[in-house]
Every structure is written in C-alpha cells, then in structure tokens.
Amino acid sequence: MFTIFRKEIADHFNSTRFLILFCLVVCVALLTTYTVSMNLRSEISGGAKIEYLFLMLFTTSGQFFSLTQFIAFFGPLIGIIMGFDAINRERSAGTLSKLLSQPVYRDAIINAKFLAGIVTIAIMFVSLVLLLSGLGMVAIGVVPSGQEAARLAVYMLISIAYVGFWLGMAILFSIILRSIGTAALASVALWIFVSFFVGFGSGLIADVIAPADQNNPELLLKNARIATAIGRVSPVNLYSDATSTIMDPYRKTTKSFVLVGPMEKISMSRFNSALSLWQSILVVAPYLTTLVALTAVCFAVSYLVFMRQEVRSI
Amino acid sequence: MAAVIETHELTKIYGRQKAVDRLTFEVRQGEIFGFLGPNGAGKTTTILMLLGLSEPTSGSSHVLGFDPVREPLKVKERVGFMPESIGFYDDMTARQNLQYVARLNSLPDSVSKKRIDDALEKVKLANEANKPVGAYSRGMRQRLGIAEVLIKNPKLIILDEPTMGLDPEGINSTLDLIKLLSVEEGISVLLCSHLLHQTQKVCDRVGILNRGSLVAKGTIEELSREGIQALLASATGRGTPADRRGLISLEDIYMRYFKEE
C-alpha cells in the first residue's frame, strides 16, 4: 500500500492542474491578506492593541471576502479536482486491471489514493497558513499569541476535514461513474447545489413549517432555528459555522443579521468577553465530528462499491 | 508432467447468462496452451477467475497448486498476467513503469534493477527505456507488457490477446518471444486468442472454447482430424440441435483456419 501511496503523492505534486490550483489559491490568499492587513493597519493605528488582532487577518473581509470565506467556497473545488478521476482514469487507461493483477489487496488501492489526497491537502493547507501568517506578521507587526496559534491549528484541522469530505465525494463519483467527464460534472453539480441551493431551500422549508411573524419573536426564532438546522445538511454551512466560531472568539452563536465593521467589533468587545479556546473547541467539536463522519461515510461507500465491483467490466 | 492450471467444472453466471459453463481443462508444466474461441466465448472471464479477480459461481480451480479464491495474493505473486488492453502510466518512462510494478511485488530495488534491465533487453526495448510510454507505438507497448510480466520471474504467464492490433512483423516477433520464453526458461504459457492460424505456430496444445464450454481440446493435428469429422457430422445432420449449434460455431473457426491455410 505504501508503494501506491508514494506514487499517488508524487502524481499529485507533479500534476499540472494541482500546480495551477495551488498557485491560484496562493495568489488570491496573498492578495487578500495584503488588503486586509493594510485596512487593519489604517483602522487600528493609534489605538491600543486589541485581543485576537492576528486572527482578524483571516476573518475580516478584504475587497470582497475574507480568507475563511474564500476557503469555504473554494475548498470543495480543491477536493474535487484531486479526486474526480482517481479510479476511472486508471480504468480507462487500462492500468487498473494491471494494478489488480499484482499481489496487492484490492482495498490498498483505494486506501492509498484517499490517504495520498488527504496528505496532499494537509501539506497544502499547512504551508498556506504558515505563509500567510508570516506575511501577516510582517504587514501588521503583530505576533500571534499561543491561543491564536492554537486556534489556527484547529482551523487547519477543520479545513482538512472539510476538503477531505469533498475528496471522498469525488472519489466516490469516480468509482460509480465510468466516464471521467460525468464524474467531474456530477461532483461540481453537487458542490454548487449544497453551496447555494441548500441555503435558499432551508429558508423556504422553514417558512412552510413555521411561518415567521415579525410581531411574534418566538415564531421568528423558531423559523430561524429550523432554517439553520436544515442548512447544516450542507457541509459548506457546517464548515463556515465551525470556522467562524473558532476564528472569532467574540462571535455569538446566533448570527447577527447586521454587517459589522472592524471598528464596531472593537467597541462591541468592550461589553463582550471572548470565548476561551477550550469553550470554542467545545462549540466546534460537533461540527468537526459531523464533517469527519460525512467523510467517513463517503469513504465507506466508495470502499464497498469498489470492493464489490465486478472486475469483468475493466 | 505436473499441471500448472487445473480447473474442475468451473462455472460463472452473470445474471441469466452463463459466461463460463462447467469448464474443465488443465495446462501442463512448460507447455504453451492456446485458449481459443470467438469473442465473448468466456476466455477473459476464465482468466479473471484463475487470477482470483472474479469469483466462480461454482466449480474449482488450482493455479500452481493454490486456490485463487482463497489465496489470490499467492497466485498473483507467481503468475504474470498481461491483460487484453495493457495500460501504462503514459507520463512515466518505461523503466519507471516497470519499477512501480516491481515495488508492488515488494521486490527490493537492488533486485529489481537487474530484472528490469534483463526484461527490457529480452523484449529489445533497452534503448528506449527512458522514454515516456506515451510516445511508444502499439507494438512497443505490447513488448513492454511482456517485459512487465517477466519482472516477477513468473512460473506461469497468462496472455490475453497478445497479438491484437499488431502488424504482421509485430505478431511474429511477439510469438517468437513467447516461444523463446517457454523453451529457454521453462515458463508455462496460457495464450488466449481468437486467431487460430497465428497461435497454432507456437502452441503445443489448444483448447477451443465456445459459449462458455470447451468444444475441443488437443494438439493441432488431433483437432484438424476432429474438425473434418465435425464438418461431416453437421453436413449429414447427425446429433441434437444443441450439438449442431456448437459444431457450426466450431466450424466457423475451422473455416477461417482452412481458408487462411
């Protein structure tokens, strides 16, 4: 299994599409960090250093989006691009039957492919976050505290689980669907569906079940709760909820519907105490578990389908 | 002579279709056994069952003394298999492709280096070893496939349509190579093909498969004699309709064989 794993890793790092994708992500991330740090600098200069300033580097919007939003939106694509042709390319090139006729267990192939993908993602994320932290330190002149570093580490863990889910999804499609093109389209379709339509759909369903009444706060709350619960079907929502909790200690568990600028955030923080790291992790743990569970389900289904597939059709 | 492959009433049913029907045959040590039959006769299905890649519906088989259903890894360690459409990783060189296979067989690099060189030498690809396989011609890929099979020092090799898509020269050199391996290294060969006239040159014995069952078995000379009788039988209309159906397909193969002679 280690042999296959080693080859898959090498393939990932050598492939053009991975390099293009990685360059793209790095470029966007660098640009965003730069804009954000410039904004932060001009806004907070003169004042006292606020707590968790370093994390704001990742959560404050630059021109259009913050870094965490960017990963929430773009992360699935990374997973899909790495996994959508994992098995069916080997099948169409005729190398799968060759692999299977060597003395390796059948599950070693799929285990190695999945593991290689996860490790590649992990390497990518760790290097990205380290790079951005370095840039941030230079740009805003603040060193992250131990707490902040720990939060970043948890953030990376969640991100890896998140992209891992999409990798598992894409590998599943690559096993079920014979054609590479179909598998790619199916994964992208699913990504768009959960990114956008689950959000709209959850609001609609909540309105049907518990119509919101502006004069009745209880109904309003019930409506919002149902909408959130349905929204959590989508891993995109799970991920963005989890990351914003871990990255923003001042975040309330109920979303405020008002946009908050960095200055207001600072003034709010006077009346607000931050959630401690441990508390944040407790809040996030169920989200992380669900993400990992979803990934595990994807992998388990892939595993079963792959093990039972008749070799005849190779 | 000991048998390297033995099957007993091997049967595989896909849905309602019998792909292989109570197949019993054996391949002896050191011989080249031609496994012939038209497309869809069940040749590939049989091979997959022999390698433990597909489970028989009923019946049993033994390959080099191992049961492929129970010990597929032991069979795969010792048997070289070249599938019908051999695939390689096109962006890797021939040597890298072979090295990957060697590693999958858990050969240490010190051993595999020598074996790869030898195998490439045997199939006359030593000069192109460092070219990416994507640039190879069809004939070269086929030869590389044979080199890949040799990496694990097999006692038995199974070749599925090794001459498919090759030009006459390629066919001849491939068949000569197979003969050479069998004679010089004592490797037993199971050679699958639908082209009778090509394989008869190298095969010691052949078995003819039609609709999943073996309709004839023996040396080429024996079969020619039987073939004439079968033609007579179908002409005079003896035997049951089922027999005749089998004979007519068999006859087709023989017709081709006679024509091309």
Q: How far apart are CA A54 and CA A133, in angstroms?
A: 8
ipTM score of the complex? 0.79
Q: Encode pLDDT of A273-289 as tens digits.
A: 667 788 888 888 888 88
The whole-angstrom distance between B28's CA and the closest CA on chain A is 22
Tell whether the model's pLDDT for residue A311 goes beyond 90: no
CB contact under 8 A, B100 and A7: yes
Using the Cβ of B85 and the Cβ atoms of chain A, whether some distance falls under 8 Å is answered with yes
Output the average pLDDT for chain A.
84
Contact between B201 and B178 under an 8 Å Cβ cutoff? The reply is: no
The nearest CA of chain B is from the CA of A167 a distance in Å of 22
Cα separation of B74 and B52, whole Å?
10
CA angle A128, A129, A132 (to 5 degrees): 85
B86 vs A contacts (CB less than 8 Å): 94, 98
Start-to-end CA distance of chain A, whole Å, equals: 21
DSSP states of A121-176: HHHHHHHHHHHHHHHHHHHH--PPPHHHHHHHHHHHHHHHHHHHHHHHHHHHHHHH
Residue A157 CA: distances (Å) to CA of A123, A249, B206: 12, 17, 61
pLDDT for residue B249: 45
Position A233 scores a pLDDT of: 78
Chains A, B: CB pairs < 8 Å? 59
Q: Cα(A213)–Cα(A221) distance, rounded to whole angstroms?
A: 10
pLDDT digits (tens, 9 = 90+) for B18-72: 888 888 988 999 899 988 887 778 888 899 899 988 888 999 999 998 999 899 8
Give mean pLDDT, residues A193-210.
82
Domain ranges, residue A295: 2-313
pLDDT at site B145: 92
Please work out, in degrees rounded to the nearest 5, the angle formed at the alpha carbon of residue A16 by the alpha carbons of A14 and A21.
110
- What is the chain A residue with the closest CA to B72? A103
Low-confidence ranges of chain B (pLDDT < 50): 241-242, 244-250, 257-261
The confidence score (pLDDT) of residue A312 equals 58
- Residue A260 pLDDT grade (very low, low, confident, very high; cuts 50, 70, 90): low
- Residue B245: both structure tokens together: 């159906």
Token digits for A264? 């207001």
Of A132-146, A174-188, B226-240, which one has max mean pLDDT? Answer: A174-188
Structure tokens that stand for A178 in this block? 């014979």
Our measurement of the distance from residue A18's CA atom to the centroid of its chain's CA atoms, rounded to an integer in Å, reads 17
Q: Closest Cα of chain A to B116: distance in Å?
A: 16
pLDDT for residue B258: 43
**Residue A169 confidence (pLDDT) above 90:** yes
Lowest mean pLDDT among A27-36, A253-262, B245-254: B245-254
pLDDT classification of A114: cutoffs 50, 70, 90? very high
Residues 6+ apart with CB under 8 A from A314: A91, A94, A96, A97, A100, B83
Query: Which pLDDT score is estimated for A296?
Result: 92
Give the residue from A101, A106, A113 with the most B CB atoms within 10 Å of its CB, the best one to mutate. A101
B74 CB neighbours in chain A (<8 A) are 103
Q: Please choose, from the candidates B23, B58, B59, B81, the residue with its C-alpha nearest in 3D space to the C-alpha of residue B212.
A: B23
Burial degree of A205 (CB within 10 A; 0-12, 13-18, 19+)? middle
Touching A: B residues 168-227, CB under 8 Å: none
**Are B87 and A312 within 8 A, CB to CB?**
no
Confidence band, pLDDT 50/70/90 cuts, at residue A185: very high
Please report the pLDDT score of residue B222 as a whole number. 75
- A54-72 confidence digits (pLDDT tens): 888 888 777 778 888 888 8
A298 or A49, greater pLDDT: A298
Question: Residue A53 has what pLDDT?
Answer: 78
> Which pLDDT score, from 0 to 100, does residue A210 have?
78
Strand partners, A162: none
Show residues of chain A in contact with B43, CB under 8 Å: none
Are the CB atoms for B211 and B249 separated by under 8 Å? yes
CB of B112 closer than 8 Å to CB of B103: yes
Count up the domains in chain A and report the number.
Answer: 1
**Residue among A293, A25, A307 nearest A168 (CA):** A293
Predicted pLDDT of residue B246: 47
Could you give the CA distance from residue A94 to residue A106 in angstroms, rounded to a whole number?
A: 16
- Residues A48-52 have a mean pLDDT of 70
Q: Model confidence over B247-256: pLDDT tens digits?
A: 444 455 555 5
Domains of chain B: 3-89+150-215 (3.40.50.300), 219-261 (no CATH)
Q: Average pLDDT for residues A12-23, to the nearest whole number?
A: 90
The rounded distance, in Å, linking the Cα atoms of B57 and A277 is 59
Residues B159/B82, Cβ–Cβ less than 8 Å: yes
How many other C-beta atoms can be found within 10 angstroms of the C-beta atom of residue B127?
Answer: 9
